A and B are shown apart, each in its own frame.
Chain A
């Protein structure tokens, strides 16, 4: 490194090498900033192409659409599509693992459940179902309260289930 020069008669601490290195680091920093912005646009920090994911149960009776990446204390939706109940049933029972429920704040359940049961290790939401043959859509609007890895499991009572993971940025 050059010894600091004094530009006589101006008494000032200058260091050309340090300045050049600083500018190089600055340029690298700009690339990083650009990369972060592009990654965010692609959905790395939630939403968008990289962020939204879907998973279906093995027996095909339930499928879930969720955000793979999301942010703390920001609302997101778990969208479920379930097969309609059989002819003699008019209820849909969906359970969510307790570990997940405890990590999020459930803001809204659509449609409003007829009954919510607290079970061992899970919470069961019971919905009144219309008489139809088409798949039925349900939505849980939740807000993560814990950062980093969230493990979730959702299923139909007596039917298929799915497991999913969300990475929550703090």
Chain B
């Protein structure tokens, strides 16, 4: 029983904490963010297993977590509002070469992040070559270049 309850508690807690952290907390790909991800993973694993190293315990935890994921995805299909609440929604942050600064500030994204995404995905050189830049739900930035 403990394994299932622990898995549910950790799943819910991670959902809430990472959601509060906002999209950018896990969306970036810097080395430090990678390290953060590893640390979170290790901490979670220790707490879930405790000192029970049986195969049964491991399988119970995995099954419960996957089950929660499935249940959650079914709920989200039934109630799209839940999906928006938990996963967030995309947001336009650059329109026609002009960065929307108050939105970017609130989302903790700066122009350098947008320019980096533009270079990586589209090979663009300047902000005015961007028609739209969107902060996606995953925390990444997608860029739509201007076409003449």
With CB as the reference atom, state the residue of chain B lying closest to A73: B50
- Total number of residue pairs linking A and B with CB closer than 8 Å: 37
- Tell me whether B74 is interfacial, beta carbon within 8 Å: no
Whether the pair B20, A26 counts as a contact (CB closer than 8 A) is yes
Q: Quick one: given A7-B95, A73-B51, are A33 and B90 in contact (CB under 8 Å)? A: no
Q: B-facing mask of A38-77, CB < 8 A → 1, else 0?
A: 0000000000000000000000000000000000010000
CB distance from A105 to the nearest CB of B (A): 10
From A14, A26, A73, name the one whose CB has the most chain B CB atoms within 10 angstroms: A26
Whether the pair A14, B20 counts as a contact (CB closer than 8 A) is no
Assembly CA distance A32 to B19 (angstroms) = 13
Assembly CA distance A89 to B88 (angstroms) = 72
Could you say which of B9, B20, B50, B106 contacts A30, with CB atoms under 8 Å apart? Answer: B20
Assembly CA distance A139 to B9 (angstroms) = 34
Residues of A contacting B22 in the complex (Cβ-Cβ under 8 angstroms): 26
Assembly CA distance A33 to B20 (angstroms) = 9
- Tell me whether B134 is interfacial, beta carbon within 8 Å: yes
Whether the pair A10, B92 counts as a contact (CB closer than 8 A) is yes
Assembly CA distance A7 to B106 (angstroms) = 20
Whether the pair B92, A12 counts as a contact (CB closer than 8 A) is yes
Assembly CA distance A98 to B125 (angstroms) = 74
Assembly CA distance A32 to B88 (angstroms) = 20
Residues of A contacting B89 in the complex (Cβ-Cβ under 8 angstroms): 13-15, 18-19
How many chain-B residues does the 8 Å CB contact rule pick out? 19
Tell me whether chain B's interface is mostly helix, strand or loop, or mixed.
mixed
| Besides A13-B89, A29-B19, A30-B20, 15 new A-B residue pairs in contact (Cβ under 8 A), listed by A number | A10-B144, A14-B91, A14-B92, A15-B84, A18-B84, A18-B89, A19-B91, A22-B88, A23-B106, A26-B22, A29-B16, A32-B20, A33-B17, A73-B51, A170-B9
* 27 pairs, CB–CB < 8 Å, chain A vs chain B: A7-B92, A7-B95, A7-B132, A10-B92, A10-B134, A10-B144, A12-B90, A12-B134, A14-B90, A14-B91, A15-B84, A15-B89, A18-B84, A18-B89, A19-B89, A19-B91, A22-B88, A25-B20, A26-B22, A29-B16, A29-B19, A29-B20, A32-B20, A33-B17, A33-B20, A73-B51, A170-B9
**A interface list, Cβ under 8 A from B:** 7, 10, 12-15, 18-19, 22-23, 25-26, 29-30, 32-33, 73, 170
